[in-house]
Amino acid sequence: MTADATTLDLLSRRKPGYALEQAFYTDPGIFAEDLEQIWYREWLFATPLAALPRPAAT
C-alpha cells in the first residue's frame, strides 16, 4: 500500500472518465487487498456469451 494514501483515499480522488492512479496497477499492497476483498470472497463465474442459452421470445 502506498505510504501517503489508503485505497479509499485514492478512490475518492478518482476523476470520472480517467484511469485509476498508477498505484492501482503497480502497488503490491493494493493488489493483495483486491484479491482479498473481491476475488477470494466468493466464486466468480465467466463464460462466453455464445455458451449461454437464448432467452425465450416473449
2 pLDDT exceeds 60?
Answer: no
Whole-number Å distance between alpha carbons of 40 and 37: 7
Give this prediction's pTM: 0.57
Answer for the pair 8, 36: CB distance below 8 angstroms, yes or no: no
Question: What type of residue sits at position 1?
Answer: M
Give the mean pLDDT of 28-47.
86
Give the per-residue SS3 of 2-48.
CCCCCHHHHHHCCCCCCCCCCHHHHCHHHHHHHHHHHHCCCCCCCCC
Domain ranges, ordered by start, for the chain: 7-44
Q: What share of the chain has pLDDT > 90, as a percent?
A: 28
Q: What pLDDT, in 10s, does the model give residues 6-24?
A: 888 999 999 999 999 999 9
Give the mean pLDDT of 25-51.
88
